[in-house]
A and B are shown apart, each in its own frame.
Chain A
Amino acid sequence: MNRRKFLGYFGSAVALSVVPASLSADDYRKLKPKVWEAKTVDDAIKELFGSAEMIEKGVKIKLPSVASNGGAVPVKFSTKIPAKTVAIFQDANPESAVAVYNVGKYDLTQYSLKIKMGKSGTITVVVEGLDGKLYVGKQSLEVAAGGCEG
């Protein structure tokens, strides 16, 4: 029996959230393909988590207030909330999802990456806590030159 099938059987009997996070290396593009097609941040969050009810605390985001190059905007984000999933979105590109971190037991949820921003906009980071609640942080920035024209 392969892992996906196993999870399928398991998931149908018990809620998926019971599976220890350390077991998995889940590709969210295959698990939740619609997340990556969503045009708005709210839709993407709903597709990924099944809810958009969020508590606005516990998520830190650090980014420049003005980015000279939209092709590579440095974003730092972290949380101390025990998390199951951390996802980052923006509203400056045709679709909004950027990355979804599947947090295992080793992961310290302190990340930094570089993203493309087609224009000025807002970065949204959503943390799905082990308590099942969603926590959100938002931060806006100005982009001097867009990154999507390439």
Chain B
Amino acid sequence: MKVKAKLKNGVVKVKMMAKHAMTTYNQAEKKTGDRENANFITHLSGTVKDKVVIDISTSQFLSKNPIFQFKFKGDEFKSGDEFSMTWVDRKGNTKTKKVKIK
């Protein structure tokens, strides 16, 4: 997972890319014969100092290696604070990436 978080004028702008195949049910059925082999990111959340700043539930229809951009209020945060991004997929795998806000 690649994450960039930048603070400017009280707004934190985040760009991130999760490395994930995002296999849809149809793709799984075609390749393996079983749609239950589908696996995709189902939930992402981002926190700074234990405060939830972004929370997304997702489906199979995000692109492969999905890219997200979003903005959140940065008045309470400063550059150097740690932004932590976590995703969970359908099979229960999870990954967390921590970066410092620039």
Contacts and interface: CB of A to CB of B under 8 A. Distances in A.
Interface of A: 22, 24-29, 36, 71-73, 90, 93-95, 97-108, 110-117, 147-150
A116 B56 CA distance: 17
Given A113-B67, A115-B62, A115-B63, 17 more contacts: A26-B57, A72-B63, A72-B67, A93-B61, A97-B59, A101-B55, A102-B56, A107-B54, A107-B73, A110-B71, A113-B69, A114-B67, A116-B22, A116-B63, A148-B27, A149-B30, A150-B24
15 contacts: A26-B55, A27-B42, A27-B57, A97-B59, A101-B56, A104-B52, A106-B51, A106-B53, A111-B68, A113-B66, A114-B63, A114-B66, A115-B61, A115-B63, A150-B30
A117 B59 CA distance: 13
B62 A104 contact: no
A110 B70 contact: yes
A124 to B, nearest CB: 13
Contact of B73 (A101, A106, A113): A106
Interface residues of B, number: 33
Contacts of A114: 62-63, 66-67
A106 B72 CA distance: 5
A113 B14 CA distance: 12
A114 B25 CA distance: 18
B11 interface: yes
A18 B23 CA distance: 37
B98 interface: no
Nearest to A72: B63
A36 B30 CA distance: 21
B88 to A, nearest CB: 8
A72 B45 contact: no
Contacts of A24: 52, 55
Contacts of A117: 61
B51 to A, nearest CB: 7
A24 B43 CA distance: 13
B26 interface: yes
